[in-house]
Structure 1
Amino acid sequence: MARKKITIIGAGNVGATLSQRLAEKELGDLVLLDIVQDMPQGKALDILEAGPVYGYNTKITGANGYEETKDSDIVVITSGVSRKPGMSRDDLLQINTGIVKGVTENIAKTSPNAILIIVSNPLDAMTYVAYKISKFPRRRIIGMAGILDAARFSAFISMELGVSVENIHAFVLGGHGDTMVPSTRYTTIAGVPVEELIPQERLNEIVERTRNGGAEIVNLLKTGSAFYAPSAAVVEMVEAVLKDKRKIAPCTALCEGEYGINNLFVGVPVILGSNGVEDIFEIKLNEKESVALQKSANEVKQLCNKVDALLGL
């Protein structure tokens, strides 16, 4: 049986770390693409040479052009300018809209049947760009945000309670950023609601830290943004699709009436399988959660309106 083909666009910290993680899992053969001459070839060769030590047989190719990416099953777009201290995700909008537009145009030509996973920021808006430019069906355009946000929420809860992250099931909705909606009601530790284990005031602080998780790392690194956790989140998505796991995971997907949201990409629980977003998993929200989600969706809508203007739509 032919191996699956996974292309990673952007060989910076996220793309290179993602390539290493995917190679080690042997989920498919990889193409690592970047516009910087020879750099993706060097990183690809380095990862390939780790194979004999780690015991994987993944083939990985570095490339500067799209010919090598032809007929990819999954394409992960990480390219774009990363956040710098003091820079909001919104500040990135104009530059990264142009970059993601160009990448998507090329991928739509060379891999018309691919599933696209978007990592570039501002995440919700860039997923919208890829959808508008590719004209792919909505199930084949997925944004990586919720798994990362849920992982951060889980990590902070684990630190607070001193329990294994394996016992924590965190639940996150909404846009990727300041208006995300970490749901304390549906977040559980070994089946017990987190609200019963952490006082509300302290829980509110943990929720706020989760919302600002990306900015916290940007401010600490000073010269870049997070890449270890984001790349791990993408691996979970790729594996769920290629193994047809039908795994429920928080991802950025196009809502068409679900949760009362129309024609917007926002973070919702989805079922991930071989077709991409197999379905959006709807759960009952209380009034507070619904209001917070609608607020988050409205912020995403404002960004998408700016994108429409930039794209001339």
Structure 2
Amino acid sequence: MFRLVAKRSFSSTSTNLRKVAVLGAAGGIGQPLSLLLKLNPRVTDLRLYDLKGATGVAADLSHIPTNSVVNGYTPENDGLSTALKDAELVVIPAGVPRKPGMSRDDLFSINAGIVRDLATAAANNCPNASILVISNPVNSTVPVVAQTFRKLGVYNPRKLFGVTTLDSVRASRFISELQNTDPTKEFVSIIGGHSGITIIPLLSQTKYSEEITPEQRDALVNRIQFGGDEVVKAKNGAGSATLSMAYAGSRFANSVMAGLDGESDVVEAAFVESPLFKDEGIEFFASQITLGKDGVERIGELGPLNEYEKGLLEVCKETLKKNIKKGEDFINNA
């Protein structure tokens, strides 16, 4: 069973040059995410792409005195291919956020096509890059990328990640509020997927397992699963979780780069191709993984689950199987 290592800082003594592309860089997640990557000393060549606005974002960020070059690209002059050429890390926050009244089917029908086209460009221009998918619904968009890469003969399961870090971030914050502790010292193992009931916080594996009442547990699990709804409601339907997602995406990108740089014990949760429930037809699953020079180095065991969590897992698997098939069918039946 994994336990979180100390939060990895952005400090780096690496001499490796990291070419990072952000696709959807002018959006609500893309802009703050690009800022955080500009501040990361591991990043030396930052390429920002969007349908419009990316050149302005790049010009703005280029004034920040860090040792990285920033360039912005739009579809003109084959900008997407230029942004992706030989990139080592590709982060994809592109797409539309979920809005009040929008179903996940509505969200998928829009974002799946966007992700497919970006994945195709990545497969053609940087097939060996680590691909970090933020675009929702992640349970389905990750299979979209996987199937796209498979069709083009360049799929590497060790380098495709669905970013679920926001669930871990929220869990750390929410449990610290309940226990009145330092959130930077808290860790909750999150497994499953990255939407609603597919998100499973393993509270029984925390140091508070005996202290949390069933009522507190139910409320905490629900808040972690549906934390995004809090933000949508607080923004009166004018936005979703962009700033916290940018932080989570930046943290995960930093961990992937730390692994590529050869650092040891780099552990995060992510939605990846996994053997854990593959015999049940579930190809992708989120759990704690160890990151290394070639991407996913190890997929951790889940550890002991109590009866409550086993029940959550059964519900999760049923939904997850449908989500994954939806993404695969979008490519296979095109």
State the TM-score, normalized to the length of structure 1: 0.90
State yes or no: 1:144 paired with 2:163: yes
Aligned pairs for 1:1-313 within 5 A: 3-11=17-25, 12-28=27-43, 29-36=45-52, 39-51=53-65, 56-64=66-74, 65-66=79-80, 67-135=82-150, 136-145=155-164, 147-179=165-197, 180-187=199-206, 193-221=207-235, 222-244=237-259, 245=263, 246-258=265-277, 261-286=280-305, 287-313=307-333
Report the secondary structure of 2:30's partner residue.
helix
Q: Name stretches of at least 5 consecutive residues in structure 2 with no aligned partner.
A: 1-14
Bigger mean CA deviation after superposition, 162-171 or 101-110: 162-171
User: One-letter code of the match for 1:196?
Assistant: E
Report the secondary structure of 1:194's partner residue.
coil
Residue 260 of structure 1, CA deviation: 5.8
Q: CA RMSD in A?
A: 1.8
1:266-305 alpha-carbon deviations (Å, 9 max, x no partner): 2111112222211211133335434422321221221232
Give me the whole-angstrom Cα distance separating, in 2, the residues matched to 1:104 and 1:69: 10
Bigger mean CA deviation after superposition, 66-75 or 235-244: 235-244
* Contact 2:142/2:327 (<8 A) preserved: no
Give me the whole-angstrom Cα distance separating, in 1, the residues matched to 2:58 and 2:278: 42
Report the secondary structure of 2:252's partner residue.
helix
* Contact 2:140/2:326 (<8 A) preserved: no
User: One-letter code of the match for 2:176?
Assistant: S
Moved >6 Å (runs of 4+): none
* Contact 1:256/1:262 (<8 A) preserved: no
Give me the whole-angstrom Cα distance separating, in 2, the residues matched to 1:85 and 1:228: 19
Report the secondary structure of 1:229's partner residue.
helix
- Sequence identity (%): 30
Bigger mean CA deviation after superposition, 74-83 or 195-204: 195-204
Give me the whole-angstrom Cα distance separating, in 2, the residues matched to 1:281 and 1:90: 31
Q: Name stretches of at least 5 consecutive residues in structure 1 with no aligned partner.
A: 188-192
Give me the whole-angstrom Cα distance separating, in 2, the residues matched to 1:256 and 1:158: 32
- Alignment length (residue pairs): 301
* Contact 2:148/2:331 (<8 A) preserved: no
* Contact 1:173/1:268 (<8 A) preserved: yes
Give me the whole-angstrom Cα distance separating, in 2, the residues matched to 1:154 and 1:308: 32
Pair 149,2 (structure 1): closer, same or farther in 2 beyond 3 Å: closer
* Contact 1:241/1:275 (<8 A) preserved: no
Bigger mean CA deviation after superposition, 170-179 or 262-271: 262-271
Give me the whole-angstrom Cα distance separating, in 1, the residues matched to 2:303 and 2:175: 23
* Contact 2:48/2:54 (<8 A) preserved: yes
Pair 133,158 (structure 1): closer, same or farther in 2 beyond 3 Å: same
Give me the whole-angstrom Cα distance separating, in 2, the residues matched to 1:88 and 1:270: 30
Bigger mean CA deviation after superposition, 96-105 or 167-176: 167-176
Residue 86 of structure 1, CA deviation: 2.7
State the TM-score, normalized to the length of structure 2: 0.85
1:32-58 alpha-carbon deviations (Å, 9 max, x no partner): 10012xx1010111111132xxxx122
